[in-house]
Amino acid sequence: MQNNKLLTKIEGIKFFLDTLEDSKIISVDIEFMRRNTFFPEPCVIQISDGHNHGCIDLTLEVNYKEIFKSIFDNNKIIVLHSCRQDLEILYMILGYIPEKIFDTQFAASFLGYKYQIGYAEVMKEIFQIEIDKTEKMTNWKKRPLTEEQIKYALNDVIYLNDLHKNLEEKLVKSKKKIYFREEFKNYLNDIEWEPKTNMAWKRIKSINGLEKIAYNVAKTISAWRERKAIDLNLPRNWILSEKEIIEVSKNFSINNKIMLPKNNRILDIEKDSSEILSDIENISTNKENIDEIPRMKIKNNSEYKKVADDLYEYYKMIALKNNISYQIVSPKKMILSYLKNNDKNSRLINGWRKDLIDVNKITEMTKDFFHANH
């Protein structure tokens, strides 16, 4: 059954979901808007079990958590392609992440396909199916949706069950399923599904180049900006850009004043400056809250770079040998963190990667570096 109409009535939605009740595997995709908000705005969810396909309106004033209980609260395998943003929305709707997630893009990375391969590209490569992307820029909040828009949306799920079956079989045949499952579990565990304002400073790429006072002010402003963006449900860069945070922080370290950009139409310059100043004063009165700037304690940065490059090339060779995307096998951040911390528990040398690498070779490559720096 393929319903080319948007399901907007509770009775019709429940009837469709009842047809999926006995299905063990369902495919899901979500269309949303995020052009001028902090949080994504759910618009349409497409669901298929490979035989029955439907689009459900997500803009209704209904209890979706209750409606979707039979779909996401049991032992069904939930198939998605490039799941991060869809799971963020499911978390908003359900309050949790379903247990059995299978990401076809992630799985493809373990099977020699291009890293982060798109859905249309992988469908064409495996099944020679052309996926029409002409409605990609649709305003999914607009009602009514056309039949062409609904067909476009359904195309993102009607083949996903077949893609899941194809990739699952290949993972089993290549004996990589355990690798995929472990890495995907780690990937999901690393994601913070709720915004943590006290960690917002990590988004500021140039923060570590600041002096101590400006560094701590930038951390404070970043947390304030995150709270403000959440409260107003506006993109954080509409509140203050990274460049503006850095400039305001530098100015404060010189003038001891908060000087917000005057051309910003969202901010109440006087009120918001006062709020930020109050946050800074609350931190400065407690010396325990003043952080030292994290500096990499490496005696020889050229040697650090050389060892990091050597490790990256070695892991890249391992990836090519095993037909796995090297971006999965050897993330640069993981290599740099391993060298910086001499971390014996690093995923780089443990878990599924340990099955593929020569640990003695890694020890040999890094022993002089670790001896010199730790």
Question: Is 294 within the bounds of a domain?
Answer: no
Rounded Cα distance between 101 and 90, Å, is: 12
Place of tokens 């809250």: 289
> Which residue type occupies 226?
E
Contacts of residue 65, defined as CB under 8 A and 6 or more positions apart, other chains included, come to 93, 94, 95
C-alpha span between 216 and 91 (Å, rounded): 32
Report, as an integer, the average pLDDT of 224-246.
97
DSSP conformational letter for 207: G
pLDDT for position 3: 64
Q: Which of 237, 255, 289 is the last residue of a domain?
A: 289
* Domain containing residue 267: 197-289
Instruction: Using the 3D structure, point to which of 255, 289, 323 is the last residue of a domain.
Output: 289
Does the pLDDT at position 295 exceed 60?
A: no
Cβ atoms of 80 and 108 within 8 Å: the answer is no
Report yes or no on 210 lying in a domain. Answer: yes
Tokens of 207: 């923060």
The answer to whether residue 215 is domain-embedded is yes
103, β-bridge pairs: 80
* pTM of the shown model: 0.90
pLDDT at residue 88 above 80? Answer: yes
Q: Is the pLDDT of residue 294 over 70?
A: no
Residue 135 lies in a domain: yes
Answer yes or no: do 343 and 283 share one domain: no
pLDDT per residue as tens digits for the range 265-283: 999 999 999 999 999 998 7
Domain of 58, CATH number, reads 3.30.420.10
Domain count of the chain? 3
pLDDT at position 66, please? 95
Whether residue 224 is contained in a domain is answered as yes
